[in-house]
Chains A and B, each alone.
Chain A
Amino acid sequence: MLKDRLVVSNDTRHLIVVRDFVSRCIRQSRLPREDENKVILAVDEAVTNIIEHGYDEGVSGSIELEIEANDQQFKVMIRDTGRVFNPESVPDPDMKEHVQKGYKKGLGIFLMRQIMDEVRYKFKDGVKNELTLVKYIR
C-alpha cells in the first residue's frame, strides 16, 4: 500500500510541483506507465479548477493531495477549503460548439471524467470540498 501527501497553496506556479508529486507516486505504484500522463493531467485539471474558481482573487488557501495506491487502484483525494463546488453538476461540453464560439475554458472536468474510472465529490465538515479521483489498475 502506497500512501503520500502534498499540500500546496492556490497558485498556478505550484502545478508543476503537483505534477511531479503525482508522477513520483505513479512510478512507485502498479499503475501502468501508459496511464501516467493521463492521471497527471486529471489531477492537474482538478487542482487548476480549485485555484481558478475556489477562492476570490488575492485570497490565499491551501490544497491538500493525498494519494493511496494498492494492487487494484490508484486513488487521489484532493481537499480544499474554498468555495463549495460540485463538478458532478457540470455537463460535458459540445466540442464543436466550443470551437465555433471560441470558448477556452470548461474542459477540465470533462477530461477528468474521460480519464478516471471514478470522479466523486463530497462536502466534508471541517474540510469542505473533497474530490476523489480513482483509476483502476487492470
Chain B
Amino acid sequence: MNNTVKPKKLKTDTKFEIIRFAAAIGISISLAFIIILFVSDDPMLAIQKLFLGPIESTRRFGNVIELAIPLTFAGLAISVMFKANQFNMGAEGAFFIGAVMAAIVAIKIPLPPFIHPIFAILLAGLMGGIVCAIPAVLKVKWGASELVSSLMLNYVFFNLGIYIINNKLRDVNAGAMASVEFEPSAMLTKLVPKTRIHMGIFIVIVTAIIVYLFLNRTKRGYDLRMTGLNMNFAKYSGIKTTAVILYSQFIGGFIAGIGGATEMLGMYSRFKWQALPGYGFDGIIVAILAKNNPVLVPVAAFFLAYLRIGADRMGSATDLTYEMVSIIQGVIIMLIAAQSFLAKYKQRMVVKEAKIDE
C-alpha cells in the first residue's frame, strides 16, 4: 500500500511545482504586458521584440548563449551557498575579483596557449573562494552576519579591483578606463561563427556536472545539504557544521571566481568593467528559479538570458528601456519563493487525489 501511495504523492508535488512556476512566470509576463501597454507608443513592436527578439538572428541567439554562461556560473555559486543555508552575497565581489585576477594573469604572466587560460581561471577561482570565505570566517569566528558583511565587502573588493586595473594594468592610450590588451594565448577560443560563443560553455557545463556530483554523490556534499536542511540536526548527527559553513562558501566563491575569469577571457580582449557587473545578484534569481538544483541551473540561466536579450532588443527598438526586465525578474523571484502562493490550489489538488485513491 505504502509503495503505491508514495510515488503518487511525489508526482502531485512535481505537478504542482510546475503549475506554480508557470503561474509565477505567467503573472510576471502579464505584468510586463500591462506596463508596455501603458507606457509604450508602439506596444505591439515592444512585445514582439521582447519575446521574439532573441531568435531573430543567429547573432541574437548567440547573445543569449553568451549571457547564459556567466549566469550559470553565478547560479551555481549561489546554489551551493543557499543549499547550505548561507546567505552570502559575496558572489558579486568574487565574480569581479575573478575577472580582475584573470586580467592580471592574461597580461602579466606569459604562458603557452591552453595552459594560460587554465592557470588564469584556476587562480581566479582561488581568489573568488577567498573573497566568499571571508564572511564565512567572520561568521564562524565572531558570529557576524554573513549577509551584511558580504554586502559591505563587495564594495571593498570592487574598489580593490578597480585600483589594480587603474594603477597596474591601465592602458594610458585607451580613451576610457581600460586595461592593456590581454595576451592572445590567454583568451578562450570562439566556437560558433557570427557569435561570440566561446570555450567557456564547456567549462560551465563541466562545472555544473561537478557541482551536481559533489552535492549528490559525495560525503561532503551530503554534509552540506544536511546542514542546510537543519543545522542542529546535522550537528547532533556528527556533521562538522562549522567546516561546512566554511567550505560551502569557499566553493561558492570559487565557482563565481571561475565565472568571472571565463567571462573576461571569453568575451573581452581587455578589462573594461567600471562597475560591479551584477552577476552575483543575478545568480540569486537563477538559483531560485532552479530551486538550487545544479542540473536546472543552466536551464534557468538560459531562461533569464533569453528574457534579458529580449528586453535589450526591446530597449533599442522602442521607447521602452531595458531596465523593465528587472521588474519582471523581481516579481518572478518573489512569487516562486512564496510558500503560500497557490497553496490553496495545492490543497485542493491533494484532496482530489486522495479522493480518487479511496
A and B: real partners?
no
- The residues of A with any CB-CB pair to B shorter than 8 Å are none
